[in-house]
Amino acid sequence: MSPMSLQSTKFKTGGRSEDDLRNQYNHKRNYTGPPRDQLSRVKRDVIQLWQKMSVVDPSDLENIQRSIIKHATSTLARTVFNVDNFAAYQATAHSVRDFLIERWNVTQQTHTLKDPKRVYYMSLEFLLGRSLDNALLNLKVKEKYGTALQSLGFRMEDLIPEEEDAALGNGGLGRLAACYMDSLACLEYPAWGYGLRYTYGIFKQHIVDGHQTEFPDYWLNYGNPWEVPRLDVVYEVRFYGHCTRYTDALGSERWKWEGGDKVQAVAYDVPIPGYNNHTCLNIRLWSSKPTKQFDLSSFNAGNYEKSVEEQQRAENITSILYPNDNHNMGKELRLKQQYFLVCATLKDVIRRFKKTNRPWADFPDQVAVQLNDTHPTLAAVELQRRLVDLEGLEWDEAWDVVTRTFAFTNHTVLPEALETWPVPLLTELLPRHMAIIFDINLYFLQQVEKKFPNDRDRLRRMSIIEETTPQRVRMAHLAVIASHTVNGVAALHSALVKSLIFKDFAEFFGDAKFTNVTNGITPRRWLNQANPPLAALITQLIGGGWHKDLGELKKLAKFADDAKVQEQWRAVKLHNKQRLAELIHRQSGLTVSPDALFDVQVKRIHEYKRQLMNILGVIHRYFSLKRMTEQQRQRDVVPRVVVFGGKAAPGYYMAKLVILLINNVAKVVNNDPEVNKYLQVSFIYDYNVSLAEIIVPASDISQHISTAGTEASGTSNMKFVLNGGLIVGTVDGANIEIGDEIGKDNIYFFGALAHEVEDIRHAQRYRQVKMDPKLEAVLAVISSGQFDTEPPAATVTGTVHGPAGTPSASPSPTMFLTGPGTQVVAPPTTKQFGPLIQTLTTGGDFYLLSHDFSAYLDALAKADAEFRDTKLWTRKSILATAGMGHFSSDRSVAEYARRIWHIEPCPMEAPETVASQLAAGDDE
């Protein structure tokens, strides 16, 4: 019997006519459709009429034109005389959304009918980027929409930039989640994404006098046509309060959490279309609202601020992504965000599960929950609370359900960077959850003690509770204990997970619990959408199968030495570099040559990512150029444009200082007529997905230079190489696997290896280790204040010439890293960059800039030399792209589905087919 045959399923009438029951059901709202056994209650003629009126054809040009005009005139209340580009974008977006929602409805109906096991991807971030271009490409209607818009007086290329990036993420974590949702839809797995709807995103970045300055991101000011408000899907979320113990009807001791504050979680749905199929998945985002929006009595009493106090307090929860946690209020708000997400999500998941009338023991057979890092870890505690306190399960029975439901992806390498929360804060905000965490910890440590008797230090290391003052909850430990599978995101990272980060847990649970799923990126966004000329060339050469099977790219290798293909390849790269040059000019007024080598590092600003080493290398290059004659520069120098981009967390002082140094160096270099034909520096502000789609295809080299063993994986490295850029990078994260796939001749590796790092740090700390002389000379220049916003009277042009390859501002004592007999230059003259210098001297150079600096410069020099050989460079670029088939997020998601989630694809039929089957009530 097919799922559609459920139309004829018999049901009990309870003495009432079937028409009465059907009519009653027709007007009853159900969040995700009726349960399977109630489908027959909807009248067949009603179904037929609804389907007749709702099925639309996005392939018909006139239909598209009619849809756009309808939304312009009806949805936006515009006329042909006052529709500007933004209004035309909005009308087009609503038109496309109509087609997506039709597919979304069919997808949800099919999932309800077939009732497959679903995966729920919980992430505090979803960095989606723009949706219009992506939706048009995935629906394969971009050309038709372009024609329709042209006939209406608009150009597609003018409308796409009108869309604001959805401010729902910050960096790689959120972009990875977005790629995975795209792949889940492309591969037609039954899945939901769950996150938060941030009103103001993280922040808009502006550069003021070289400094990062943060402003709210008002991305929702004009509405968001890509979301569907579900104002009737609302759940209460409790904070604070107290716990009361009582005995239930069966004599079991139970706990009740009551009192405190309540807020409402309101659902907003974002459709995620699959590529060239009929599946449309959903990301459900929660927005926080008050249970009571307005206190009229306070208002009438003249206390106007108090009248809206509850509303403001509630809405703060989803106002900002990652509020500054340098103070207690910020910490509390972050923790509120995490619980708000998991509480609303689990209520929604449980409601959907209960529709199937299955026993709780079947919950893990129908539900897989993936924790994207530690942020949603409280979900495990919340599920245990609901099962024990509200559903009446015994502790062990409930815990078995929990540990078979959750899987955990760890994205952190450094143990000291793992998330922890103060016990007093958790106790105040979530008292019942803190009690449950203590119980989980006790029962777990009893098992550890049984396996490793009298090993008290092991108990201390493995405890969820860190015995500091105050005590802290180790969220990663909780996630590992509560999950059936823990995965790292690159081969090296996953090895470190077992050997370093969670070594004790691997010994306790065994290696089988820990696995690797190397990250991936969606080729639909990062090649087809971001680089249309290259996508078209690749399709011309090898066909279009790579859109859904990136392994097809290996066929490009045979064209690596083809002169005609090389010429076409270079023309595409030049086109993309011209686009980036235009972006740089729009932002800063700087004119750069697309014939120069474009050297790019764009990512979140952090000390371990070593943007500092990059700008120190730029300073070294600058002074090397200053020492040359013009004839030497013309003969020996490869002109270079160095591009930076990325945001620093608002409270991260050192990262913001690096941004200031980059901008101050850029000011000096770009205004030096002697040098600026050979070296220019640009900081692209407010880096986001849409800017990345311009920057990534334009790179000749990109830098991924984190200290070995500190980058879990990285995905920007994959995006650059997929688009034919070469990497200058350390042997870290996914760089290693990229090198294995594309060939180590096509990547510029340098620097310490992960297993060497601790020994190097030990030597730097306890022995007299001299600083690299090239780095020492660069620091001397910075120390002199010559790159300050207001430099001292002596200018950079007055530097003295140091030994070959090294600049120096003035003779200075030898610099040592910390150790016996440490000597450091006299207190720096610089009024701004002293803290950066101290991280490399008295701070011990934790991220090994001195150790890696000369090797880093050598790698850049090698790239320079090979860039001169146009044929060799183009060959490397083609082979790099050809080797990237392994790094598709489709491959990653398929591994998760097969090895961790144990779910199967659920293919969709065309909407009109499903409509006719539902209307006819087929019995196959």
Rounded Cα–Cα distance for residues 652 and 527 (Å): 33
Could you tell me whether strands 204-208 and 211-215 are parallel, antiparallel, or unpaired per DSSP bridges? antiparallel
Helix then strand count (H, E) for the chain reads 37, 24
DSSP lists the bridge partners of residue 353 as none
The active-site residue out of 345, 420, 715, 841 is: 715
What does each C-alpha distance from 873 to 185, 530, 747, 869 come to in angstroms?
A: 36, 22, 11, 6
Task: Report CA Rg, the chain.
Answer: 29
**SS3 breakdown of the chain: % helix, strand, coil, rounded to 5?**
50, 15, 35
The active-site residue out of 78, 603, 633, 647 is: 603
DSSP 108: H
Task: Count the alpha carbons within 13 Å of 818 in the hemisphere toward its beta carbon.
Answer: 15
CB 426 within 8 A of CB 439: no
Rounded Cα–Cα distance for residues 845 and 765 (Å): 9
Backbone angles phi, psi at 367, to 5 degrees: -130, 125
Task: Count the alpha carbons within 13 Å of 775 in the hemisphere toward its beta carbon.
Answer: 24
Query: For residue 570, how far is the Cα from the chain centroid?
Result: 31
Among the listed residues 102, 90, 78, 109, the one whose alpha carbon sits nearest the alpha carbon of residue 918: 109
Token look-up 């293909």 returns: 565
Q: Which residues contact 906 (CB under 8 A, 6 or more apart)?
A: 110, 111, 114, 116, 188, 189, 190, 279
What amino acid is encoded at 426 in this protein? L
The active-site residue out of 71, 94, 130, 609 is: 609
Strands (E), 838-882: none
| DSSP letter for each residue of 690-747 | HHHHHHGGG-SEEEE-PPTTS-S--SHHHHHHHTTPEEEEES-TTHHHHHHHH-GGGS
Q: Which residues contact 420 (CB under 8 A, 6 or more apart)?
A: 466, 472, 473, 474, 475
Rounded Cα–Cα distance for residues 443 and 461 (Å): 15
Q: Decide if 715 is catalytic.
A: yes
Cα torsion for 111, 113, 114, 119, to the nearest 10°? 30
The active-site residue out of 117, 142, 411, 647 is: 411
Q: Decide if 411 is catalytic.
A: yes
Rounded Cα–Cα distance for residues 713 and 734 (Å): 5
Return the H-helix or E-strand segment holding 230.
Answer: strand 228-239
DSSP lists the bridge partners of residue 236 as 264
Could you tell me the two tokens for 418? 């793992």
Q: Decide if 279 is catalytic.
A: no
DSSP 152: T
* Coil vs helix vs strand at 263: strand
Q: Decide if 230 is catalytic.
A: no
The active-site residue out of 94, 197, 472, 719 is: 719
Token look-up 């002169």 returns: 563
Rounded Cα–Cα distance for residues 732 and 267 (Å): 39
Among the listed residues 538, 568, 540, 576, the one whose alpha carbon sits nearest the alpha carbon of residue 556: 538
Angle between helices 475-482 and 378-385 (to 10 degrees): 60
Rounded Cα–Cα distance for residues 343 and 260 (Å): 15
Cα torsion for 349, 351, 357, 358, to the nearest 10°? 30
Is cis: bond before 470, omega within 30 of 0?
A: yes
Query: For residue 920, how far is the Cα from the chain centroid?
Result: 44
The active-site residue out of 175, 278, 352, 604 is: 604
Rounded Cα–Cα distance for residues 223 and 218 (Å): 10
What does each C-alpha distance from 214 to 109, 217, 301, 333, 817 come to in angstroms?
A: 44, 9, 37, 19, 35
Q: Please identify every residue annotated as catalytic.
A: 411, 603-604, 609, 715, 719
